Amino acid sequence: MHHGWIPGGLGWIFWVLVILGVVWALRAGRRDGRGREGCASEEALRILESRYARGEIEHDEFERRREDLLR
C-alpha cells in the first residue's frame, strides 16, 4: 500500500529538495539585498582610507566620512 503520491517511499527526497530550495532562496535573497550594500560600503571605506593615506583629505574629514559610512 502506497502512502502519498510518490511511489516506493521516496517522498522524503521530495521534502528534502523542497527544504533545500527554500534555504537557497532565502540565502540568495539576503545576498542580493544587504550583501551588495555591504560590499559597496566596504569599497567606499577602502577608497576613503586610500585618499586619507595619500593626503587628499584631512583627518577630521576622514573621521566624519568614515562615521557616515559605518552607520
pLDDT digits 0-9 by tens, 34-45: 555 566 788 899
| Alpha-carbon torsion angle 5, 11, 17, 19, nearest 10 | 100
From residue 22, give the alpha-carbon distance in Å to each of 17, 18, 71: 9, 6, 31
Label residue 16 by pLDDT band (50, 70, 90).
confident
Label residue 17 by pLDDT band (50, 70, 90).
confident
Q: Report whether pLDDT(65) > 90.
A: yes
Q: Mean pLDDT of all residues in the chain?
A: 79
Identify whether the C-beta of residue 41 lies closer than 8 Å to the C-beta of residue 69: yes
Taking the C-alpha atoms of residue 4 and residue 15, their distance in angstroms, rounded to an integer, is 12
* pTM beyond cutoff 0.75: no
Q: Report whether pLDDT(47) > 90.
A: yes
Taking the C-alpha atoms of residue 62 and residue 59, their distance in angstroms, rounded to an integer, is 5
